[in-house]
Amino acid sequence: MKAAGLAPIVNAQVTRLAASLAKHGVQNVDVAFVLGSGLGVFADRIEKARVIPYTELEGMPMSSVPGHAGKLVLGEIRGVRVVAQQGRVHLYEGWSADDVTRCVRALARCGVARVVLTNAAGGLHKDWPPGTLMRIVDHVNMQGTTPLAANEAGALKPWDLELGSVIDGVAKRQKLALVRGVYAGLLGPSYETPAEVRMLAWVGADAVGMSTVAEALAARASGMKVAGISCITNFAAGITQDVPNHEEVIEVGKRAARSFSDLLEAATPELAQVL
């Protein structure tokens, strides 16, 4: 079935990847997870797991960024059928907005109705130390591009309140400190300057990164319900005297992986019930 509004070449690429996903068994999936830098370990929680390298998926873009394994993991969590995307491509690698959103659109074509997008992000609050988990309640797109076709403007409110409430409730029961905030997506690949960080705080952002916003827009436009979690892996430039670096991002992500994974694992059965 043709996706309304997509350019023919984009539609063909999504169709090709969706067919490849289906061929590899990505069907009857209740919840999808996109795992950001250092957070791929969550896929270890998946039972009856089948690992599908991106190289085996026709039309699947592959990242060269450390911390993005380039694998799809299909299986179950607490009896719920799930798929986890270990790694994503980024605009700053030279990929287009259509490229970075191809997988979420293809998953939607395969019938996946819910997606949880995750990322590593810089925090804009001194009282949010590295390792803090933030549920994304909204975003600011400062990447200078969009994956949306002209008739997909209805995707401007992608973050689903019901999925978010499920995650909040599970965090509360687990006595896990989960903050809520606005994620600002910038192009990268350089980290933000202190002046840019002050600007982001002025416009209402709480965390900043280089991914996620395009995927959220495309997933919602494709009919999916969308939730998101940022792992605050470093203070954004100027908040402290520390200088952000990707090695720190990966290391903090690994340290926070247990609480992150506990939260998502426990939330999965309830996320799957959201209609």
Which residue is catalytic, options 19, 24, 49, 92? 92
Q: Which of 11, 20, 119, 234 is catalytic?
A: 234
Distances (CA, A) of 53 to 102, 210, 230: 16, 24, 25
Q: Is residue 54 annotated as a catalytic residue, yes or no?
A: no
> Which of 125, 165, 201, 246 is the catalytic position?
246
For 16, 88, 122, 133, the CA distances from 68, given in Å and listed in that order, are 23, 7, 18, 19
Nearest to 227 by CA among 185, 262, 272: 272
Residue 55: CB atoms within 10 Å: 9
Residue 122 φ/ψ, nearest 5 degrees: -85, 135
Q: Which of 120, 184, 221, 256 is catalytic?
A: 120
Which of 68, 108, 205, 215 is an active site residue? 68
Three-state secondary structure call for residue 208: strand
246 given a catalytic annotation: yes
Token output for 150: 């002209």
Told to judge if 93 belongs to the known catalytic residues of this protein, a careful annotator would answer yes
Q: Which of 54, 63, 69, 90 is catalytic?
A: 90
- Asked about 92 being catalytic, the answer comes back as yes
Cα separations in angstroms, 150 against 5, 154, 165, 270: 7, 10, 30, 34
Instruction: Identify the three-state secondary structure at position 38.
Output: coil
Q: Residue 134: which of 269, 268, 265, 260 has the closest Cα?
A: 260
Query: What is the rounded end-to-end Cα distance, in angstroms, of the chain?
Result: 23
Active site residue 90: yes
Determine which one of 37, 63, 119, 230 is catalytic. 37
Active site residue: 18, 149, 210, 257, which one?
A: 210
Q: How far apart are CA 251 and CA 67, in angstroms?
A: 10
> In the annotation, is 234 catalytic?
yes
142 is catalytic: no
Give me the half-sphere count of Cα atoms (radius 13 Å) on the Cβ side of residue 101. 25
Q: What are the residue numbers of the active site?
A: 37, 68, 90, 92-93, 120, 210-211, 234, 246
